[in-house]
Amino acid sequence: MHIDTIIPADLDWQAQALCAQTGADFFFPEPGSSVREAKRICGMCEMRPACLEYALQNDERFGVWGGLSEKERLELRRTTH
């Protein structure tokens, strides 16, 4: 069996995620600490649209996804639904 047959297609983007190379620490900061560094990395990440879409669809509550903090995603969800 090829390894890629067991990775769901909609998770392919994670293999190219910039944060996978930098480590998760920036993306799940302690409450109240800065998300600026995570957002800076997201800004250079080609997978950003797929990442944000995934986070919204899966209702990811914690951390920075697709360049948005959990609070910003909540606001986005409120204004688009």
- Binding ligand SF4 by CB under 6 A: which of 42, 60, 70, 80? 42
In the complex, what is the shortest distance from the CB of residue 1 to ligand SF4, in angstroms, rounded to a whole number?
A: 27
Span interacting with ligand SF4, options 3-11, 12-20, 29-37, 69-77, rule CB under 6 A: 12-20
Number of residues that this document lists for the chain: 81
> Do 73 and 56 contact (CB within 8 A), yes or no?
yes
CA pair distance 24, 14, nearest whole angstrom: 12
**What is the identity of the amino acid at 28?**
F
Return residues touching ligand SF4 (CB under 6 A).
Answer: 17-19, 27, 41-42, 45, 47-48, 51, 64-67
